[in-house]
Amino acid sequence: MRIGIAFDIDGVLIRGKRVLPQAIRAIRRVQDARVPFVLLTNGGGTTEAAKAKELSRVLDSDIRASQMVLAHTPMAPLAANYSNVNSNAVLILGSPFLCIFTCTRPSSSKRNESKSGKSECKDAALAYGFKYPVLAEEILVTCPEIWPFRAPSKSCQPISLDRKIGAILSFHDSQDWGRDAQIICDLMRTGGDLRRVVEPHHRDRTRHLHQHHTPPEQLPLYFSAGDFVWSNNLPLTRFAQGAFRYALETVYSRLTHGKPLEYTMYGKPHKVTYDYAQSAIDAHAVSLSLSHEVPIMPCKYFGIGDNPESDIAGANNNGWTSILVKTGVYESGPHEAKYLVADVEEAVDVILSQPH
Ligand code: G3P
Ligand code: MG
């Protein structure tokens, strides 16, 4: 039986702005053993190519874009509905500043938001084929009164309000919870019609919206990850995308007199993401062996992670073998992992020592 591995990133290979030395050794060992693998993360906010390039550099190894399964990577097929000149726009949410290592390289702290306001979240959406991705900050620049509690970024340009927003996709952690919650609720109440959100002469037509009504059909809303917390170099965990979702659900329900927020989840531990990751591992196996027979040979998939609720639950629920490390979110206590190890290097020991 062949084997394949999915490495989690935050808390397994990287801790905050630091690459774990065990990670460099672990990746080198699986590459030397020609074991197919992917990096499977609930993080994102950039293109697979950019993330692969950065990780190749810091892990001192050659990682391909096709081995990167970011939280939003499996959302790419959604672009088919928003890909031509007549399509609706989509709102892409995600922090432009939270990619790894930005803290250690001040000169690059704005690297994913250029002077033209182009962000790596938007680059990813364009690469997937979305024709008109729009950023929350671009909406704020167009109408600062939407969230009048801070100045909009000078690096973003205003956008046209003519095109309706047809869907909202959260690619990464929110950069500004207040701005994003307000804009999402505005779009939900107007069916994605930005003109009705920002133009004063629409006031009469939107009067009923002030009374907490929403259109019967909710705008499609997609979250790329549900993690409540993640861990960086600080002793306490940091809020992740799931924490923002809880906050949004609360304000949306309050605004609509109890209507539940409807949404679709991607990322670990969801099946759609594990199916995608398996295909990516199989594709890597084909490229290593140059054999097209590989995908039909049985495979034992291993998921190495630090978060019991995403990495371990996801691996277990999708028929993979789960390995929990102690270098991230998990510290102690009951867990459902098949193996509990100190770090990623020990996880690779466990995998490579198995008969296969
Ligand atoms: O937002 C949570 C994210 O940073 C977790 O990343 O690599 O541990 O799945 P990862
Ligand atoms: Mg992790």
258 CB neighbour count, 10 Å cutoff:
8
Kindly state whether residues 341 and 274 are assigned to the same domain: yes
ipTM: 0.98
Give yes or no for residue 116 having a pLDDT over 50.
no
Read off the pLDDT of each residue in 224-234 and give the average, rounded to a whole number.
90
Q: Does an H or E element contain 169, and which?
A: strand 165-170
Boundary residue ending a domain (247, 265, 283): 265
Q: What is the pLDDT of residue 32?
A: 96
Query: Is the residue at 56 inside a domain?
Result: no
Query: Is the residue at 162 inside a domain?
Result: yes
Q: Determine the structural domain holding residue 291 and report its residue range.
A: 2-42+268-352
Q: What is the pLDDT of residue 210?
A: 54
Query: Is the residue at 123 inside a domain?
Result: yes
The token duo for 22 is 């065990």
Choosing from 70, 99, 230 the residue with most ligand 1 atoms within 8 A of its CB, the one to mutate for a pocket test is 230
Q: In CATH, what number is assigned to the domain containing residue 348?
A: 3.40.50.1000
Query: Is the residue at 79 inside a domain?
Result: yes
Query: Is the residue at 257 inside a domain?
Result: yes
Boundary residue ending a domain (227, 250, 265): 265
Read off the pLDDT of each residue in 122-133 and give the average, rounded to a whole number.
96
pLDDT-derived band of residue 122, with 50, 70 and 90 as boundaries?
Answer: very high
Cα(10) to ligand 1 centroid in Å equals: 5
Ligand 1 atom nearest to CA at 307: 8
pLDDT tens string 179-209: 999 999 999 999 999 999 988 766 555 555 5
User: Comparing C-alpha atoms, which of 323, 330, 255, 254 is closest to residue 40?
Assistant: 323
Kindly state whether residues 290 and 325 are assigned to the same domain: yes
Choosing from 7, 8, 10, 265 the residue with most ligand 1 atoms within 8 A of its CB, the one to mutate for a pocket test is 10
pLDDT-derived band of residue 264, with 50, 70 and 90 as boundaries?
Answer: very high
The ligand with the least distance to the CA atom of 304 is: 2
Q: In this predicted structure, which of 4-13, 65-74, 102-111, 304-313 has the lowest mean pLDDT? A: 102-111
Q: Which residues line ligand 1 (CB under 6 A)?
A: 8-11, 41-43, 173, 225, 227, 230, 240-241, 307
Query: Is the residue at 101 inside a domain?
Result: yes
Boundary residue ending a domain (265, 288, 303): 265
Give yes or no for residue 283 having a pLDDT over 90.
yes
pLDDT tens string 49-96: 999 999 999 999 999 999 999 999 999 999 999 999 999 999 999 875
Q: What is the pLDDT of residue 213?
A: 62
Kindly state whether residues 202 and 273 are assigned to the same domain: no
d(CA 13, CA 309): 18
pLDDT-derived band of residue 356, with 50, 70 and 90 as boundaries?
Answer: low
Give the count of alpha carbons within 13 A of 287, CB side only.
14
d(CA 111, CA 102): 8
Query: What residue owns the CA closest to ligand 1's atom 4?
Result: 43
Give the β-pairing of 321-325 and 238-239: unpaired
Kindly state whether residues 209 and 274 are assigned to the same domain: no
Cα(27) to ligand 2 centroid in Å equals: 16
Cα(344) to ligand 2 centroid in Å equals: 11
Q: What is the pLDDT of residue 212?
A: 53
- The whole-chain average pLDDT of the chain stands at 89
103 CB neighbour count, 10 Å cutoff:
14
Q: In this predicted structure, which of 3-7, 177-181, 207-211, 338-342 has the lowest mean pLDDT? A: 207-211
Q: What is the pLDDT of residue 206?
A: 56
Give yes or no for residue 100 having a pLDDT over 60.
no
φ and ψ at 317, to 5 degrees? -70, -20
Kindly state whether residues 242 and 289 are assigned to the same domain: no
Query: Is the residue at 58 inside a domain?
Result: no
Give yes or no for residue 97 having a pLDDT over 60.
no
The token duo for 301 is 């998939």
Cα(270) to ligand 2 centroid in Å equals: 15
pLDDT tens string 242-260: 999 999 999 999 999 999 9
Query: Is the residue at 50 inside a domain?
Result: no
Kindly state whether residues 219 and 333 are assigned to the same domain: no
